[in-house]
Amino acid sequence: MGKNVSRTQNLGLDSDFRYKLLVDSMGENLWVVDLNNRFIYISPSVRNVLGYTAEEVLNLTPEELLTDDTYPLMMNLFKE
């Protein structure tokens, strides 16, 4: 991994691109919502977990995606 990061830096790629490359290639789901509770980013790995493409999830809200039990828990975490 260290070699790949150094090589990427040597290619002159900016930090935003390197970050996106890292996040898009990881196996975990990463998602970002805005203050209006809309997804603004979802990692492509969501397809492996939920069966939706990232583009499909961007058209949903967390409330539509999470269970009735899980959604309130997530919202409480965000408030903290």
Give residue 22's pLDDT.
81
Dist. CA 73–CA 40, nearest whole Å: 20
Token pair 């995606």: residue: 65
Q: How far apart are CA 18 and CA 12, in angstroms?
A: 10
Supply the pLDDT for residue 8: 53
φ, ψ of residue 3 to 5 degrees: the values are: -65, -45
Q: Tell me, what's the pLDDT at 12?
A: 61
For position 25, what pLDDT does the model report?
Answer: 80
pLDDT for position 77: 85
- The answer to whether the predicted template modeling score (pTM) of the entire model surpasses 0.75 is no
Taking the chain (80 residues) in consecutive chunks of 10 residues, what is each chunk's mean pLDDT? 56 75 81 89 90 93 90 84
